[in-house]
Structure 1
Amino acid sequence: MPATWRRNAPVSKVRQAELEHLHQSRNEKKGTSGFEAVKLTRADVEWLLESYDNGRGPILDVSSDKRRGLSLAGVVFEGDELSDLPLSRADLRGAVFTKANLRRTQLSEANLQGASFYGCDLKGADLSRATLQDAAFVFRTVLEGARLVDTDLRHVTLDEVNLKYAVLDYANLQDVQLPGALLHGASLRHARLEGANLEGASLARADLRVVSRVVV
């Protein structure tokens, strides 16, 4: 990924010290990140990514970089512009995103267990193989063109979401409730759809090759 994700001037020295203090307060044994209920901005995240792992920076290629990602469990984003950020393998358990712009954000293999997305824009975001147990995408959150390859969506709330042109190949959607879902042009090749409810869903031009049984 090019360095275009860096869009802000570095945060002040005072703010750097605050962020470092929060990062150092994490407790891996208890599973806390130090950022629980803390509101962060894009500039904060850019600095945390750039300084991550003693300055090595973020994970840009999950196929060759086997490190764990940035730990931001419980963090809060409200109306923030977070597009294109490299957050692969980030720990974002319980994070809250409200009306955030996450277009093309890299969230592959991220831990988003219990995370909430309220009215967010994730158009073109990559959530392939992300952990999404008990996550919620609600209030017309946009997942148009998002990549959810090989993702387990069985315990995910998908209410009034836009999944047009999304790539859901090999995803597990068993018993998922998606009545009236917008799946126009979506790719669902090899997806598991046993018991899924797609009644009234828009499936025009969707690729349903080699899928399991669908309830429509």
Structure 2
Amino acid sequence: MSSGTPSDWVPRVLPHNAEASARLRDWLLERKAGGLDAGGLDLSDSDLSGGNFSESWFGGTIFTNAKLADAELYRSDAEGADFTGADLRNASLVRVNLDDAVLRNAILDGANLVGASLYDVDAKGASLRGTALMGCSLLHVDFRGADLSNAIVEENTFKVKVDNATVFDGLRGTLFGPIILAADDGEHTLANSQLEAWINARGGAVRVLTPRLRSR
């Protein structure tokens, strides 16, 4: 098992799915270095809070309503995973691949997503209060209805979709746009100074950067 997890750590609630539960039990019994291979398995409704799943394989894994608070997922591959309604409070998702994942209504308050990759992610209604997003690549992420209160960005690619229900209060740092604003009268592209003013008028404190042109 990966270093950093106590040898006596066990899930508070095992997955209801028999195959997923057996895979997790076998992995825990081995206690060897290396991540969990749970690709495509159903871990919904489990409580894996505090576990160390560094460098694990979660491609297509179902985490619906699972609890992963304070869990360590460093460098794991969760491409296409479904975290709908999952509790990821204070989890470490550093350099995790979340491309094509579903984070709808997930709770990521206080989570660390530094260096994570989020491409084509459904994060509608997600809570990212105080989430560290520095260096996180956000491309085609749907943040409609999401709460980004007090989240921190630093030179982030921030090509996302938002709406008037998206919360930006306390969002701070630097980012690159543009974003798509979904409104009653259609979709609007906001970039550069217009984007900066729009976010900051909603309680943010961000600076929108202009991409540097490469010299020949």
Aligned partners of 1:89 and 1:110 also within 8 Å: yes
SS of equivalent to 2:176: coil
Q: Is 1:196–2:160 an aligned residue pair?
A: yes
Number of residue-to-residue matches in the alignment: 173
1:118 pairs with 2:121: no
Kept in 2: contact 1:132–1:152 (CA 8 A): yes
CA contact (8 A) 1:49 1:58 kept: no
Letter in 2 for 1:79: D
Q: How does 1:9-88 map to 2 (within 5 A)?
A: 38-40=19-21, 45=24, 47-52=26-31, 57-58=32-33, 69-88=35-54
Cα shift readout 1:131-155 (whole Å, capped 9, x = no counterpart): 11211112x2111111111112122
Query: Using the alignment, how far apart are the partners of 2:41 and 2:6 within structure 1?
Result: 24
8 Å contact 1:197–1:214 — kept in the other structure?
A: no
Using the TM superposition, give the Cα deviation of residue 4 of structure 1 relative to its aligned residue in structure 2, in angstroms: 7.3
Tell me what 1:151 maps to. 116
The answer as to 2:173 corresponding to 1:213 is no
Alpha carbon RMSD of aligned pairs, Å?
2.7
2:161 partner amino acid: N
* 2:149 corresponds to which of 184, 202, 215: 184
In the other structure, the counterpart of 1:65 is none
Identical columns (%): 24
State the alpha-carbon separation in 2 of the partners of residues 72 and 177 from structure 1: 26
Amino acid at match of 1:135: A
Who is 1:27 aligned against? none
Q: Normalised by the size of structure 1, how large is the TM-score?
A: 0.70
| Residues 1:135 and 2:96 are matched in the alignment | no
1:51 maps to a residue whose letter is E
Cα separation, 2, equivalents of 1:112 and 1:211: 24
- Change in CA separation of 1:173 and 1:73 when aligned onto 2, cut-off 3 Å: same
2:9 is the counterpart of 1:6: yes
Structure 2: how far apart are the matches of 1:203 and 1:132? Answer: 22
Preserved CA contact (<8 Å) 1:164 1:185:
yes
Is the contact made by 2:106 and 2:127 (CA closer than 8 Å) also made in structure 1? Answer: yes
The residue type equivalent to 2:176 in the other structure is S
What amino acid is aligned across from residue 172 of structure 2 in structure 1?
Answer: D
Which of 61, 74, 82 is the aligned partner of 1:108?
Answer: 74
Q: Which residue of 1 aligns with 2:188?
A: none
| Structure 2 runs not aligned, ≥5 long | 12-16, 180-197, 199-216
Contact 1:37–1:75 (8 Å) recurs in 2: no
Q: Aligned letter for 1:202?
A: V
Q: CA offset at residue 50 of structure 1?
A: 4.9
Structure holding more strand per residue = 2
The amino acid of 1:148's aligned partner reads L
Tell me how far apart the structure 1 counterparts of residues 41 and 112 of structure 2 sit (CA, whole Å). 23
Quote the Cα distance in structure 2 between the aligned partners of 1:130 and 1:82.
Answer: 17
Residue 191 and residue 178 in structure 1: after superposition, are their counterparts in 2 closer, same or farther (change >3 A)?
A: same
- Which residues of structure 1 form unaligned runs of 5+? 9-35, 60-68
